[in-house]
Amino acid sequence: MAEPSTVNNSIFLSARDAFKNVWQTFSLHSAVEWVTFVDMDRPRWKKIPRTTVGIGVLLLTGLFGVWLVRKNVSAGQTDTDVFAEKVNLSLRRTAHYLLVQAGDSSSRIATVQHPEAHTWLLRFDQAFNYDSLPVLLQQSLEIHGIHDNYDVAVLNCLDGALELGYNFWDFRRNNSAPCGGREMKNDCYNLQVRFIPATIRTENIVLGWILAAGGLLTGIFFTARGRWKPQSEPVEKTDIAEANQVVFGQSRLDTGNQVLLSGSARHQLTYREAKLLHLFASQPNQLLERDQILQSVWGDEGIIVGRSLDVFVSRLRKLLRDDPGVRIVAVHGVGYRMEIEVRIVNRES
């Protein structure tokens, strides 16, 4: 299994390379395209279908929840393996010093058994100093960073009878263990250490499932909401639509939805495109100076780039090419004029 630091470095390097590629691609664009990009300052979030939003929320939140669950399950499995190794080393250290105290420095220490979850066994073929066990065991566990609660039992190898034992907290509070001072017979014993399991990562796993379920419900809500749209009265809907429209030549600008109908073509405009076209169409056949146009369309930005106007005029000309009766004429050194017969439809009056 890869180390966490290695995984994090790989993710960082991948993200850095992706950003670098995007930046290099973007830097190849001309200055005109850069101005155009900057001017696209108001994305039309309201145009995104609710169904798409719902599916996006569903996928993102659900994937994050599943990732969190798998991450904690995987981390929990890794922690369990590391914990078992530390317990093994701690018991072997404890056995070593118990045997040394008994005058045995050459006998082989038995293999530590792990018969069930949270339980470890170590066999002794001779008696040992029980009074030294609590201190030696606790020191060994602390050396390996183990501070969990546990029970200790000294069992007879032949019949499994409990001979001696204590709990971690008894030793911590009283600095001594029950059954101390009792002499052990020279017999075979199993030292059993059973850790009381802690719910370390349960809350993170539960959180992951909550996020996954929440993402599912949120996605269903947005999807259902996008499919079900309350219908307004037809008359009111028509009134509102026509009140927000400017008709000129064979074209029609819906300022509310930022939609241009020119000839047989339908174009979705950006915020600036719609604002500039509305300025031209509402003042037909009038010469508009550059400064006047820039202040009207880009004045709310605080920073005005003169080249933006030329770029957007060029774009509007392309959008209006299906309407031969509409022309945006440049007057050199002064500004622009839209040559068109215009009719503004306003039924509010």
Residue 200 reports pLDDT greater than 50: no
- Is 68 part of any domain? yes
- What's the rounded Cα separation, in Å, for the pair 40 and 318? 18
- Is 41 part of any domain? no
Q: What is the pLDDT of residue 137?
A: 93
The Cβ-side half-sphere exposure at 10, using a 13 Å CA radius, reads 6
Q: pTM score, two decimals?
A: 0.39
Answer yes or no: do 17 and 52 share one domain: no
Angle separating helix axes 50-101 and 202-227, nearest 10 degrees: 170
Q: Give the mean pLDDT of 155-166.
A: 88
Residue 25 reports pLDDT greater than 70: no
Answer yes or no: do 317 and 292 share one domain: yes
Q: What is the pLDDT of residue 147?
A: 86
pLDDT mean across residues, the chain: 75
> What does the buried/exposed string (b/e) look like for 71-97 if buried means 16 or more CB atoms within 10 Å of the residue's CB?
ebeeeeeeeeeebeebbbbbbebbbeb
pLDDT tens digit sequence for 123-154? 998 888 888 899 999 999 999 999 888 999 99
Tell me the H-state helices in the chain.
4-27, 31-39, 50-101, 133-143, 168-174, 202-227, 234-243, 271-281, 290-298, 306-319
Q: What angle do CA 41, 42, 48 make, to 5 degrees?
A: 140
- Is 38 part of any domain? no
Answer yes or no: do 226 and 238 share one domain: no
Identify the band that residue 163 occupies on the pLDDT scale cut at 50, 70 and 90.
Answer: confident
Identify the band that residue 204 occupies on the pLDDT scale cut at 50, 70 and 90.
Answer: low
Identify the band that residue 43 occupies on the pLDDT scale cut at 50, 70 and 90.
Answer: very low
pLDDT tens digit sequence for 216-273? 677 676 666 655 544 434 434 444 456 678 888 888 999 889 999 988 889 999 998 9
Q: Give the mean pLDDT of 64-90.
A: 73
Answer yes or no: do 239 and 217 share one domain: no
The residue written with tokens 């050396």 in the block is 143
Answer yes or no: do 20 and 161 share one domain: no
Answer yes or no: do 126 and 273 share one domain: no
Distance, CA of 251 to chain centre: 45
Identify the domain boundary among 230, 252, 284.
230
The residue written with tokens 């008709």 in the block is 247
Identify the domain boundary among 208, 230, 252.
230
pLDDT higher at 320 or 74: 320
Q: What is the pLDDT of residue 5?
A: 46
Q: Give the mean pLDDT of 268-285.
A: 91
Q: What is the pLDDT of residue 78?
A: 60
Q: What is the pLDDT of residue 34?
A: 38
Tell me the H-state helices in 102-201.
133-143, 168-174
Query: Which pairs count as long-range contacts for 33-36, CB under 8 Å and 24+ apart, including other chains?
Result: 35/305, 35/307, 35/308, 35/311, 36/308, 36/311
- Is 207 part of any domain? yes
Residue 209 reports pLDDT greater than 60: yes
Residue 303 reports pLDDT greater than 50: yes
Q: What is the pLDDT of residue 227?
A: 57
Q: What is the pLDDT of residue 268?
A: 94
pLDDT higher at 36 or 140: 140
Q: How many structural domains are present in the chain?
A: 3
Answer yes or no: do 221 and 303 share one domain: no
Q: Give the mean pLDDT of 167-187.
A: 79
Q: Give the mean pLDDT of 299-310.
A: 74
Answer yes or no: do 210 and 119 share one domain: yes
Answer yes or no: do 305 and 174 share one domain: no
- Is 40 part of any domain? no
C-beta separation of 308 from 276 below 8 A: no
Over pLDDT 70: what percentage of the chain?
A: 62
C-beta separation of 171 from 136 below 8 A: no
Answer yes or no: do 289 and 306 share one domain: yes
- Is 168 part of any domain? yes
Answer yes or no: do 206 and 271 share one domain: no
Residue 66 reports pLDDT greater than 60: yes
CATH number of the domain at 321, please. Answer: 1.10.10.10
Answer yes or no: do 19 and 91 share one domain: no
Residue 122 reports pLDDT greater than 90: yes
- Is 136 part of any domain? yes
- Is 35 part of any domain? no
Q: Which domain, by its residues, includes 178? A: 47-230
